[in-house]
Amino acid sequence: MIKIKKSELETVAVKPSQYPPVGLPEIAFAGRSNVGKSSLLNLLTGRKALARVSGSPGKTRTINFYKVNDEFRIVDLPGYGYAKISKSVSENWGEMMEAYLSSREGLKKVIQLVDVRHAPSAQDVQMYEYLKYYGLDGIVVATKADKVSRNELQKCISVIRKTLNLSPEDKVIPISSLKRSGHDVLLAEIEKLLEE
Ligand SMILES: Nc1nc2c(ncn2[C@@H]2O[C@H](COP(=O)(O)OP(=O)(O)O)[C@@H](O)[C@H]2O)c(=O)[nH]1
Ligand SMILES: [Mg+2]
């Protein structure tokens, strides 16, 4: 299993000219604002405050590139689904995502995060369709797994599978950043991707 020994915020970008140089494989995280992307990043890297965890959703309007072990990058994509943003901001979000997802060299996979408790939203479904279109789909993380009981968990996962229209080979990995559980499964998947 990979051990994350070193991690740092390398670059904050809003357009391709600001991306870090290609050459390292990248794994990106996508999901609605407040779904738990920053918390998961901190859990994976074993750092309390590498990524800023926010009580008020919708703050991250940038693509954040984190360099891990000088070997690969985890890329925190801007969150979607925050109601209070203006039209120009959401258009800009679309352009930013398109620019990154459509042509980023070295991008191996986009891990989509959804809240375990709720059926994925229309925007989650749309995001996943988009990932499929680019061949970047296949791994979904169900966040905040501590919020449901063991019994409920399987039911929640099957709702996620149905709503996102997942294939049997697609993976749904429940993780709790609060209880610090499940991330080993994701790390093993990331390791596999990096070996490909
Ligand atoms: N109970 C619980 N809360 C979480 C978990 N992960 C994140 N949160 C909370 O959800 C909120 C949003 O988290 P954040 O990581 O900033 O989400 P982001 O907007 O997707 O980056 C914060 O209040 C976190 O403390 C989790 O695994 N369990
Ligand atoms: Mg965040």
Residues in a beta bridge with 67: 8, 73
CA distance 27 to 172: 16
42 lines ligand 1 (CB under 6 A): no
C-alpha 102/C-alpha 96 separation (Å) is 10
Cβ neighbors of 58 (< 8 A, separation 6 or more) are 33, 34, 79, 82, 84, 85
User: What is the per-residue pLDDT for 75?
Assistant: 96
- CB-ligand 1 contact for 62 (6 Å cutoff): no
Counting Cα atoms < 13 Å in the Cβ hemisphere of 172 gives 24
CB 77 within 8 A of CB 29: yes
The ligand 1 atom at the shortest distance from the C-alpha of residue 54 is 16
Could you give all domains of the chain from N- to C-terminal order, each with its CATH number?
7-195 (3.40.50.300)
Token representation of residue 134: 């680019």
Measured in angstroms, how far is the CA atom of residue 28 from the centroid of ligand 2? 13
Nearest listed ligand to the Cα of residue 56: 1
Q: pLDDT value at position 55?
A: 60
Q: Is 59 in the pocket of ligand 1 (CB under 6 A)?
A: no
The finding on whether 39 has its CB within 6 A of some atom of ligand 1 is yes
Point out the ligand nearest to the CA of residue 142.
Answer: 1
pLDDT in tens, the chain (196 residues): 888 889 999 999 999 999 999 999 999 999 998 999 999 999 998 877 787 776 655 555 889 999 999 999 999 999 887 656 666 666 788 889 999 999 999 999 999 999 999 999 999 999 999 999 999 999 999 999 999 999 999 999 999 999 999 999 999 999 999 999 999 999 999 999 999 8
Q: How high is the pLDDT of residue 48?
A: 75
Ligand number nearest CA of 31 is 1
111, 124 contact by CB (below 8 A): no
